[in-house]
Structure 1
C-alpha cells in the first residue's frame, strides 16, 4: 500500500531553488500505474516555496534525453543569436514552416536546420553558459537532444522553467517573452497552461516522454515537470497530457481556486 504523504523537512537542494518544505506524495503514483507507465512528477509553488514530488529519487538523481523539450532552450539560443528573427520566421521544408508552428507541433527538421545554422561552437557556448545537463553535443549538431547524448534531470528541467518565466536566463527580455508566448497552450478565465512536450527512446528501447511548464491561477505561477517512460506498445503521444491534467486536477487546479 502506498504511503499517502510523507513530509521531508531536510535541507534538500534542487536546481530550481532550495526548499525547506518538500512533500513526497506517493498517492500520485496511482495515475502513473493506471496509465501503464513509470516516472516522476514535481510541482513547485512559487509563492510558498513548497514542492510536491512523486518519485523523488528519479526526480533529482536520474538524467534523461530532453527530446523536444530542448526546443525551449534551442529557441532561446536561436533568437538570441539572430539565427531566427522571431517566432514567425519561416524555414522551407516540404512547405514554409514558422518557428512557432515547429515549436508547438514538434517539427524536428525545422530545429535540425536551426541547429546547423547556430553551429556547434555557438551551441556549446550556450549549453556551457546555461550549465544545461551534461552539456554534451557529441558528434551530431542536429540530433544530440534526441539520441541520448545530452541528458538532464527532471529537477534541472524545472529550474529552467522557473528561470524562463521570471526572465532570469542569460538572454534578453524579448527572447524570453517570445518563447513564453509559444509555450502558452490554454488560456481562459480560470487558468493559463503553458508547456512543452518531448518524446524519444531510451537506450533500452523504452519510450521516454516529458511535459514541462507552468500553470497560472489568479496570476500565481506553479511550475511542473512530468517525466515518464513506457514500453513501445503504449502510446505516450496523448498519454502525456492526459496524465498531466489528471495530476493537476488532483492537486486542485483548473477551477481558478488556487
Structure 2
C-alpha cells in the first residue's frame, strides 16, 4: 500500500520541473500488512445504502490503517470530482488567480439546480457549497500551462504507474470528465500532506484551504473534509468524502469512495452519513481517541 507521508519541502518558491521526480519519491512509502487492518464489518454501511466502494482511515500517530475493500482503495482510480477543489484552490491562491479566500467571482446569471450557486461567491463560500461554476472560472483564468505545471509538481493523478497526467480535455472540465483519475489512496495522501502544510504551496494558502474544509469544531473533535460527486465512464454515480478528524490534537485521515450503478443516485447526504456512522463505530466523536 502507498500513501503520502510527512516530509520537509521548501514552499517558498514554485517547484522546478526537474524536481518533480524527487518530490514524487517523497510522496510514496510502503506500508506492510502488519499495520493494515481490513475491517469487513464496515461492509454493512455500503450494503444498507446499496453502494459499492471503499473506506480507509490512517492513525497518524501509529501508522495503522483500517481499510474496507483494500483492492479498490489501493488500485482503482476515479475522477476526483469536487475533491479537486482542494488542489484548484491551492493553485489559484499560489498563482494569485485567487487573491484571497474572500475574493468574489460574480455570478454569471445562469440558473443552476443548486440554489447556493446562483449568487456572487467568494472562495471560502464557493468551497463550502462546492460551487462548480466558481472553480471552473478559476481554472479558465489559471490556464492549461500553469495548471499543468502544478499538477506535475504535485504528481497529481500519476497513480501507481508513476506517469504524469496531461490535460487533454477542456481546462474547465478535466477533473469532471474522467480524463483525470486518482485512487482513494492518492486522495487520502493529499489531505495528509495538506494537514501538515507539506504541499508545495505557501503555508498561508494551505491554512486557508484547511479553514474552508473545517465543518465541525467542538470540545470533542474537529471534522474537516471535502466532498465530491460525479459520473464514471459507465455513467455510475460516484461519491467522495476525504479529510481528517482530530481528537485530543491527534489527527486521523480518512477517505470514503462510493459508487452506484444508478446514475440518478443522490450522493448529497449519504456520503457524510456513512462517514459519521463508520467513524462512530470506530470510537470517534466522544473525545476519547
TM-score (ref. length: structure 1): 0.93
Find the counterpart in structure 1 of residue 272 from structure 2.
241
Unaligned runs of at least 5 residues, structure 1: 1-11
Is 1:19–1:50's contact at 8 Å kept on the other side of the alignment? Answer: no
SS of equivalent residue, structure 2 residue 238:
strand
Residue 105 of structure 1 corresponds to which residue in structure 2?
129
CA–CA separation in structure 2 for the residues paired with 1:234 and 1:154: 20
TM-aligned CA deviation for residue 139 of structure 1: 2.4
Root-mean-square deviation (Å): 1.1
Tell me, yes or no, if structure 1 residue 130 matches structure 2 residue 154. yes
Q: CA deviation at 1:236?
A: 1.2
Going from structure 1 to structure 2, the CA distance change for 1:121 and 1:51 (only over 3 Å counts) comes to: same
Counterpart CA distance in 1 for 2:272 and 2:2 is: 28
Cα distance between partner residues in 2 of 1:130 and 1:219 = 27
1:92 and 1:136 mapped to 2: Cα distance? 30
CA distance in 2, matches of 1:243, 1:180: 22
- Whole-angstrom distance in 2 between the partners of 1:256 and 1:45: 15
Please give the secondary structure, in 2, of the residue aligned with 1:211. strand
8 A Cα contact 2:3 2:188, kept in partner: no
Deviation of residue 205 (structure 1)? 1.0
Q: Give CA-to-partner distance per residue, 1:167-198, whole Å, 9 cap, x none.
A: 00001111110000000000100000000000
Q: Are 1:215 and 2:245 counterparts?
A: yes
Equivalence for 2:30: 18
Highest RCO, 1 vs 2 (Cα 8 Å, sep ≥ 6):
2
Shift of 1:233: 4.2
Partner of 1:193: 223
- Residues 23-55 of structure 1: per-residue CA shift (max 9 Å, x gap): 111111111111110000000000000000000
- The alignment status of 1:163 with 2:193, answered yes or no, reads yes
Task: Determine whether 1:47 maps to 2:61.
Answer: yes
Cα distance between partner residues in 2 of 1:212 and 1:221: 13
Aligned residue-pair number: 247
TM-score of the two chains, using structure 2 as the length reference: 0.83
Deviation sequence 1:38-90 (CA, Å, 0-9, x none):
00000000000000000000001000000000000000000000100111100
Contact 1:14 1:60 in 2 (8 A): no
Any gaps of 5 or more consecutive residues in structure 2?
6-28, 110-118, 159-164
Question: In the alignment, which residue of structure 1 is the partner of 2:75?
Answer: 61
Q: How many angstroms apart in 2 are the aligned matches of 1:127 and 1:255?
A: 38
- 1:137 positional shift: 1.9
Give the counterpart of 1:145 among 150, 175, 181.
175
| In 1: Cα distance, 2:86 partner to 2:169 partner | 21
For 2:45 and 2:178, the matched residues in 1 are separated by: 27
Is the 2:90–2:209 Cα contact (8 Å) retained in structure 1? Answer: yes
